[in-house]
Structure 1
Amino acid sequence: MSLLHVRSSADSKDDCERPISTIVFIIAMDAEALPILKRFNLAEDSTFFPGLPWIRYHGFYKDLQLNVIWPGKDLVLGVNNIGTIPAALVTCASVQALKPDLIINAGTAGGYMSKGANMEDVFLVSSVAFHHRRIPLPGRDLYGVGRRQSFSTPVLSAKLQLKDGVLSTGDSFDICPPDDAFIAANNANLVDMEGAAVAYVAGLLNIPSIFLKVVSNAVDGGKPSVEEFHQNLAAATSTLDRTVAEVVDFISGKSLSELSVSETFSLGSTRSS
């Protein structure tokens, strides 16, 4: 008997036609999550992941069950569990437990101003990849990059006037020259520390996933990124909160197919495999 329940393509086809009912938000930091928890009055369930620091917040809004999953804080150091490992683990555990219709990875990101990513811009990511998994061996180089398409939602993007972004993920806050080369090769204008890990798990378990990112610091702006990140975090998370509210309102009552089909697109051409 398999320990993992992977949704089949037949299940996915049926799920596309019925209204979305369960959403899992994967949010890396408490500062990003807190405004959203307050807005939707979500209740904490600290026993959902027994023995682990991960925390589920949950509640209902209109016809949607909302679940915000935060990886919590390191049990020794007391800092946010950020990075690809916590993101992948909580995503997998959450999907297995909650069997959501949709995963939304919402958070802040560094942006390349030279590529049109300015402070507090809001992006709906079209594709994600890694920039820190450098494996210069035949075939394994592409595995390392791990490029994946997000669930295509042209209707949502157009309605809320969200910018299109390409996200590159790594486990370090700073960007070294080899990272820069991979980010350029990925054609990315955004960088974060969890998106591609969430996409990897969502792809394995066949759950549609979208990535909502607000620029909190300019990677190429000439200022120290850490300092700029702290200065702009409150404004960026406020923008994220408002945008998440708009996204949830728009999704309510709609099916996945209604999000992915517009006048010029068909479900078959827009939905990622």
Structure 2
Amino acid sequence: MESFEVNPRPTPNATTTNPLPRIVNTIVVCVTMQAEAMPLVQTLNLTEEEEPSIFPKALPWKKYSGTHEGLTVHVVVPGKDLKLGVDSVGTVPVSMLTYASIVSLHPDLIINAGTAGGFRAKGAAIGDVFVATQFANHDRRIPVPVFDEYGIGTLAATPIPNLVKALELKEGKLSTGNSLDMTPQDEEIIKANDATIKDMEGAAVAYVANLLTVPLIAMKAVTDIVDGDKPTVEEFLGNMSRAAAALSATIPRVLEYVNAKSISNL
């Protein structure tokens, strides 16, 4: 594999008294599944990157780029598993992709767009699009003092009260795990996380964005009701296209709102 040059965005000097505000001009939208990404790619009229790629050739990662209302927009997807040909879901592929995209593309903002299970008890319904207010894990169980907190890994989302109000978006805490189903232990921790939605990648994206100090918005469309009476897999597969359509309708509105604004004004 050829070398991959890491060239992260310079961070402001901690001694700077009046750092310049970060203005949103370049956005990376990180999406896990191709079926979630393509309606948005088509809506924004983005073009798949051709050679030479910013990513190593051996990787299945994909990047679709273009402009929207003056913004530079990149949609990145981890692609298909090289052995099995299914979407590379879960926290490991998306965390690698997020890191590589940040150090290569220098975004002013990351948007993690995707689908999620929602809890009816928290007001979620099929097709709703939620903005995550907090990220946590529910399958990293480390019953050792302090490590237990590290395993949960709670992170606050970038505050965007003006955007949420202007676009009348729903909000809720997000809990992440590497399984589509939910064990009794998962359920207990998800409740402790006070989650409205659960997914398989959000907390991983948040971890990388937090390490590299890049603002993050996570937007999740509900495909299945976790505390409902239908099988999760059946609902997930049946509502994927509806959720993807909801994302492709909502995210362009978000892009138009954040365009040329400072992060602090969102």
Kept in 1: contact 2:23–2:108 (CA 8 A): no
C-alpha spacing 1:135/1:148, structure 2 compared with 1 (3 Å)? same
Which of the numbers 126, 136, 143 marks the counterpart of 1:136?
A: 143
Question: Post-superposition, which runs of at least 4 consecutive aligned residues in structure 1 deviate over 4 A?
Answer: 9-13
Kept in 2: contact 1:7–1:206 (CA 8 A): no
Deviation of residue 169 (structure 1)? 0.2
Partner of 2:250: 243
Which of the numbers 59, 74, 77 marks the counterpart of 1:70?
A: 77
1:93 to 2:100 alignment: yes
Partner of 1:23: 27
CA distance in 2, matches of 1:186, 1:258: 28
Tell which deviates more after alignment, 69-78 or 37-46: 37-46
For 2:11, the aligned partner's letter is S
CA distance in 1, matches of 2:146, 2:264: 34
C-alpha spacing 1:7/1:140, structure 2 compared with 1 (3 Å)? farther
CA distance in 1, matches of 2:12, 2:203: 22
TM-score, structure 1 as length reference: 0.90
Deviation of residue 110 (structure 1)? 0.2
Which of the numbers 188, 191, 195 marks the counterpart of 1:188?
A: 195
Deviation of residue 4 (structure 1)? 6.4
Deviation of residue 114 (structure 1)? 1.1
Partner of 1:264: none
Which of the numbers 55, 58, 79 marks the counterpart of 2:62?
A: 55
C-alpha spacing 1:55/1:138, structure 2 compared with 1 (3 Å)? same
Say what the alpha-carbon RMSD is for the aligned residues: 1.7
Structure 2, unmatched stretches of 5+, are none
Kept in 2: contact 1:168–1:196 (CA 8 A): yes
Partner of 2:115: 108
CA distance in 1, matches of 2:22, 2:11: 16
For 1:41, the aligned partner's letter is N
1:120 to 2:124 alignment: no
Identity of aligned residues (%): 46
Q: More helix by proportion, 1 or 2?
A: 1
Structure 1, unmatched stretches of 5+, are 260-273
CA distance in 2, matches of 1:143, 1:208: 21
CA distance in 1, matches of 2:151, 2:197: 18
Partner of 1:269: none
Partner of 2:186: 179
Count of residues in Structure 1 that have an aligned counterpart in Structure 2:
257
